[in-house]
Amino acid sequence: MTSGYAQPALLVIDVQQGLDDPALGVRNNPEAEANIARLLSAWRQEELPIVHVQHNSVEPNSPLRPELPGHAFKEEARPLPGEKHFTKTVNSAFIGTGLQDYLEEEGITSLVIVGLTTDHCVSASTRMAADLGFTAMLIADATAAHGRVGYDGVTYSGEQIHRVNVVSLDGEFCRVLTSDEILLEIATTGDG
């Protein structure tokens, strides 16, 4: 990387085993974890900043309670020693954590956002990133959502929920990219 380039941090949200709980519904984007692994690998190779966020649920029935096995990171997203790691108890990675202070101290102004799930913690965190003044890039194929039956009695698939949530974020809160596109941008900037 060229020094002086505003280095985008990879913000990896809640890639935890408990989100495979079948009670949460059928998910879209089964390739999300493989894409997250590719991005982590590229960020490590380029020595760009990485921030891992892990959900410590305080909900009685959540598989993400810290004492449960589902709290653990998925293999594809396990932090390496020395990588920055925040825990949170609500959806937004910016509430009750030191994330904003850390990014400002490090001079990090742009975030590449991946993880789970699109419409809950990823959307909440992307919205706050933008509203707090960070440049946010959302990697649509490195995030995923669960399907469910809505308040209106209609069944929505994970793919429908994912896509509409990304559409709602796009342009207003972030730029939407694929994993291939951001990898190309990183590589190009690094060469420059």
Q: Which of 13, 36, 48, 166 binds a copy of itself (CB under 8 A)?
A: 166
Q: Which of 22, 151, 191, 192 binds a copy of itself (CB under 8 A)?
A: 151
Q: Is 121 a catalytic residue?
A: yes
Task: Strands of 56-96 (E only): list them.
Answer: 84-88
Residue 70 and residue 151: Cα distance in Å, rounded?
27
| Chain residues 60-89 in contact with a copy of itself, contact rule CB under 8 A | none
Residue 155 and residue 152: Cα distance in Å, rounded?
9
Q: Is 141 a catalytic residue?
A: no
Closest contact distance (angstroms) between CB of 64 and a copy of itself is: 13
Q: 14, 74, 119, 174: which is the annotated catalytic residue?
A: 14
Is 120 a binder of a copy of itself (CB under 8 A)?
Answer: yes
Is 56 a binder of a copy of itself (CB under 8 A)?
Answer: no
Q: 74, 88, 141, 174: which is the annotated catalytic residue?
A: 88
Is 123 a binder of a copy of itself (CB under 8 A)?
Answer: yes
Burial class (CB in 10 A: 0-12, 13-18, 19+), 100: middle
Residue 106 and residue 168: Cα distance in Å, rounded?
29
Residue 92 φ then ψ, to 5°: -75, 130
Residue 48 in tokens: 């760009």
Spacing of C-alpha 47 from chain mean position: 19
Known catalytic residues are: 14, 88, 121
Binding stretches for a copy of itself (CB under 8 A): 90-92, 95, 119-120, 123-124, 127-128, 130-132, 140, 145, 148, 150-152, 154, 156, 160-161, 163-168, 170, 172-173, 176
